[in-house]
A and B are shown apart, each in its own frame.
Chain A
Amino acid sequence: MDAIIKTTTRLLVPLIMVFGFYVSLHGHISPGGGFPGGVILASAFLLLVIAFTEKEVEKHFSEIKIGDLKSVASIALLGIVLLEVIVRPDILHLQTPLTLWSGGVTIFLNLFGAIVVASGLVIIVYSLVKEEWKSKKSKW
């Protein structure tokens, strides 16, 4: 891709990631939640993969690190299980409603769900696209 797209991507990717975290962390008081936030986070990575060449992305996200995202997703899933099923902490009386610090543990659950969805989508997109690179060996 040419220089305009690369420069725009460099400017936009951090903003998209911040917006994804905003959507997932404010899920209990505004429209949004864990799944849309996770999808936005994954779309930032997808933009990176599209705009840059294979080697430039692999320099920072090598295949081993992409594989490690499975562990991140499983740990976040374990966190969801702990918070929802096993521990079930009751912290509602410590909070004030309609502010950011409200909704019990929903804010942590939203964050964990966003991590699971984002890492999962990154793994899926990267696996499929990388397979395409392997079989065709064509440049972008």
Chain B
Amino acid sequence: MIEYILNIAIISVYPFLFIGIINKIKAFWGGREGASVFQPLYDFIKLLKKGEVISSTTSFIFNITPSLNLAAVLFAGLFVPLINQKAIISFEGDFILFAYILALSRFFSIISAMDTGSSFEGMGASREVSFSTLVEPAFFITIASIAALSGVNSFQNLSLILQNTGETGYLIIILSIVVIFMMILVEGCRVPVDDPNTHLELTMVHEVMILDNSGPDLALINYANSLKMILFSSLIANLMIPAGATLLNASICFTGIVLFLAILIGTIESGTARYRMTRLFEFIFLMSSVSLLILALTMIAIYESPVGVIK
């Protein structure tokens, strides 16, 4: 029971802190004091209190999308194990529903951007849909390989790989973390895929899609987006935390890993420039190649390893 309460607490608090820490780190590397780590939360509350300006071109789609987006991401959060490898709901094939419900939220954010009739938002929508299309196979290859290895067709107990496979297991975990981390950068729209702080609409991906959103709707979109990053981070955390850890240890490790990821993202953003739009495909294909490597290692682990065949 206490796990569920902790999970709900994580879903509601961590997303704001995550962005806050990234910004703090960026300020640190930039030699600035930076805003408080709670600033995203203050912004969220401020936006909720405001009114809205709605484009006269738009229809009901623009109206419902921010709420639907958040509902979809929260719903996806039900299947992701957070603390202590426990998801709120877990069943066979839950990661398929996870990926598809996120696709639903992407579908609506794209048509909502197109709903405004703005050429800039169309551009953002076109980019978002092109890049995310190619991310999908990499994610599925990774997850299917892990499922084949651990013998569990759900997000729950990801770290069973460690118990079931020998040294190859560690390698597979490391590579899976690489894939999922790259997914955080793509899905969370961070450098080098997308720059959340850019000032020119022509170079944006995610930010330009929400140009016309304001007030509470913008707050919901921002929250949903950072929650998505937390969900992917927790996948990474659960690959690393061993299954037998006590609740306290698992919580500390979880928080530590998420904190580390935030620091890493902030450092990457300070240290690298974003890629040229046409080169992003290469970045995404790097993900696919790593995922194919995971598949190859899975084959080795199942058919060659001294530990023998699972099941």
Q: Do A and B come from one complex?
A: no
Interface set of A (CB-CB < 8 Å, partner B): none
Interface set of B (CB-CB < 8 Å, partner A): none
